[in-house]
Amino acid sequence: NAGVMQNPRHLVRRRGQEARLRCSPMKGHSHVYWYRQLPEEGLKFMVYLQKENIIDESGMPKERFSAEFPKEGPSILRIQQVVRGDSAAYFCASSPAGTSEGSSYNEQFFGPGTRLTVL
């Protein structure tokens, strides 16, 4: 059972370009989360999506950032007009659906991350 897949693993963009980061959740998982990790810091929540729905985007910057999780295909985190401050590692995580306390839905399984460098 493949884990969470992210691509590309490394992405270099010049200021003003667009960055597209892809995430394929674990098989059977329908919930996707995006986190950002700045150098020497912890992970900060950005957005939580289910298929075709954004559930919680409280951590997303108001401008230039968007996310989607279409019915078919991977989840996409899109950053328009990148700036140097966007340089970070972006991690995707997934979890299964479920509501029972103690069930495995509580854990989030993380991908290897995409390291974005903005020149």
Partner 1 sequence: AQSVAQPEDQVNVAEGNPLTVKCTYSVSGNPYLFWYVQYPNRGLQFLLKYITGDNLVKGSYGFEAEFNKSQTSFHLKKPSALVSDSALYFCAVRDTGRRALTFGSGTRLQVQP
Between 19 and 92, name the residue whose CB sits nearer to partner 1. Answer: 92
Between 10 and 15, name the residue whose CB sits nearer to partner 1. Answer: 10
Between 13 and 31, name the residue whose CB sits nearer to partner 1. Answer: 31
Q: How many CB atoms lie within 10 A of CB 15?
A: 11
Minimum CB separation from partner 1 for residue 102, in Å? Answer: 5
User: What DSSP string describes 30-98?
Assistant: -EEEEEEE-TTS-EEEEEEEETTEEEE-TTS-SSSEEEE--SSS-EEEEE-S--GGG-EEEEEEEE---
Of 18, 13, 110, 20, residue with least CA distance to 73: 20
Minimum CB separation from partner 1 for residue 17, in Å? Answer: 24
Between 27 and 44, name the residue whose CB sits nearer to partner 1. Answer: 44
Minimum CB separation from partner 1 for residue 58, in Å? Answer: 7
110 three-state secondary structure:
strand
Sites of contact with partner 1 (CB under 8 A): 4, 31, 33, 35, 41-45, 48, 55-56, 58-59, 91, 93, 95, 101-102, 106-113, 115
